[in-house]
Structure 1
Amino acid sequence: MFELPLDLVLMLVGAAFAAGFVDSIAGGGGLITVPALLLAGAPPVQALSTNKVQGTFGAATAAISYAASGRVDLREQIPAAAISFLGGLAGALLVSKIPTEMIERVLPFVLIAIAAFFALRPGLDDTDRMQRITPGLFMAAFVPVIGFYDGLVGPGTGAFFMIGFVTLAGYGVLKATAHTKLLNFSSNIGGLAGFMLVSSPWWGIGIAMGLAQVAGARLGSRLAMRVGARLIKPLLVTTSTLLALKLIWEML
């Protein structure tokens, strides 16, 4: 059933639960699961494709949890989700044809800037603010770029969707978190579809991790809805900073 010994499976399941919890609140769950898959012996492309399998479970659970609480109307997000899916699919299909070195070099500094924005900007809470661009322009110009990035590179996708919803759409922190999840789920599915054409995921491991993601995402989304920006902001700052430091360490 599983592609690995039981002790490694349990390690990966535990990592997926923690990732589901973190990802449902602030994004950045891949910071936990991708290194865990590599540590377990997965080749890089197989680690990424397996990560997409398990990540879709958590993103879907978080999206449904926020929708069930009335924080977001999933039906209204279907056009944006379709665009995010196509972006993720295109990014994954082109991952071997587009040089990503420059993106990977700049990415840590972008993540640090996002962390600083959420840490230092005064008055950033769950209150909606002025909308800077129309919903149609946001969907047509911003969503496909982040979806494409998710399929092409991946780390920090949730944080990038969050920063867009807060700064461009004018959403409060909790509302931005809720609206991020379906788009992140869709780009995950698109990326998985693309990766499946070049590498077969570990399906048994991916599904087992996905079930753990469901449990973590349910716990995390409930806690986020209860506490709001007071929990989401510091966790987003922490995950973005840790991911940036990890990427810098890998470059060095």
Structure 2
Amino acid sequence: MSWDTLLLLFLAGLSAGFIDSIAGGGGLISLPTLLWVGLPPHLALGTNKMQSTFGTLLAVRRYAQAGLVQWAQVRLAVAVTFVAALLGTLAVTQVSADLLRKLVPWLLLGIAAYALVSPRFGQQAKRARLTPTIFACLGGCVLGFYDGFLGPGTGTFWTVACLSLLGLNLLHATAYTKVVNLTSNVASVSIFIGAASVRYDIAAVMIAGQLLGARLGSGLVIRHGAPFIRIMFLLVVFSLVVKLLWDQWVAGS
């Protein structure tokens, strides 16, 4: 593998880690890069999950050190998400994801529109609509399975669910999201490792970038809080919508 390719992989990991640690959506960068350098789809998916796991782990560590992770609140969601993500990753090899792939961009577009017209989106905690236990079970089952099965937009869905159903502010919703994202990543990557679907040499290069990007991104979140997250959140969501719709209508035609 040439030095140019290694540099590209490192920069892709850095960019993905930076974006993921703030608003999710780093897969927009990392997965296409892995496919572009010639990895078959199954190896690209497994390698992508491996490298993103490390960046998310660093982000969770920094959020926890800053006191933003409420472990008692997220503990049950972690357990449910892990099991659901395992099942989702196993299921993706058996079931077509075409319907979900077509539905996801429109769900994300609706979320982005709501955030765009709500200037105080996530700046203050609101009344919870679900108890933490019900939220953990429902969110863990649905979004954990979805992340293992398909994945695009999972972090965004978790963040919006934390805001609208659990009543968290955007800063704590982002921290909650990173913990459950880490959980589903670990579950998924364990399946991919068992299936020998990880290129460890490529993953190692991208992990180096991921760790740096996650450190930079999580540091900005801790220092600047909800207004900064809101801007990045909107940028990531609209980019994700454009990418997914492009895949459906242009690249697939």
Q: Same fold (TM over 0.5)?
A: yes
- Residue 42 of structure 2: which of 23, 45, 48 is its match? 45
Q: Report if aligned partners of 1:109, 1:244 keep a CA contact under 8 Å in 2.
A: yes
CA distance in 2, matches of 1:49, 1:217: 20
Residue in structure 2 matched with residue 81 of structure 1 by the alignment: 78
Give the secondary structure class of the aligned counterpart of 2:93.
coil
- RMSD (CA atoms): 1.3
Corresponding position of 2:13: 16
Note the C-alpha offset of 1:177: 0.4
Deviations 1:191-210 (A, max 9, x none): 11222343421112112211
Alignment of 1:1-252 (within 5 A): 4-74=1-71, 76-252=73-249
Deviation at 1:76, TM superposition (A): 4.8
Q: In terms of mean alpha carbon deviation, does 66-75 or 127-136 score higher?
A: 66-75
Q: How high is the sequence identity, in percent, across the aligned residues?
A: 39
The residue type equivalent to 1:18 in the other structure is S
**Letter in structure 2 aligned against 1:95:** V
TM-score (norm 1): 0.95
Amino acid at match of 2:23: A
Counterpart of 2:95 in 1: which secondary structure?
coil
Supply the distance in 1 between the matched residues of 2:193 and 2:248 (Cα, whole angstroms).
27
Runs of 4+ with deviation above 4 angstroms? none
Which amino acid letter does the alignment assign opposite residue 193 of structure 1?
S
1:150-187 Cα shifts (integer Å, max 9, x gaps): 11101111101101100100111111001111100010
* 3-state SS in 2 of match to 1:97: coil
Q: Structure 1's 59 and 75: CA in aligned 2 closer, same or farther, altered over 3 A?
A: farther
Structure 1 residue 133: Cα displacement: 0.3
The TM-score, its normalising length taken from structure 2, stands at 0.94
Aligned CA distance change for structure 1 residues 125 and 145 (closer, same or farther; 3 Å)? closer
Cα distance in 1 for partners of 2:154, 2:208 equals 21
Unmatched segments (≥5 aa) in structure 2: none
Number of residues paired by the alignment? 249
Using the alignment, how far apart are the partners of 1:73 and 1:168 within structure 2?
16
Q: Measure, in 1, the Cα distance between the counterparts of 2:40 and 2:161.
A: 33
Q: 2:59–2:178: 8 Å Cα contact kept in structure 1?
A: yes
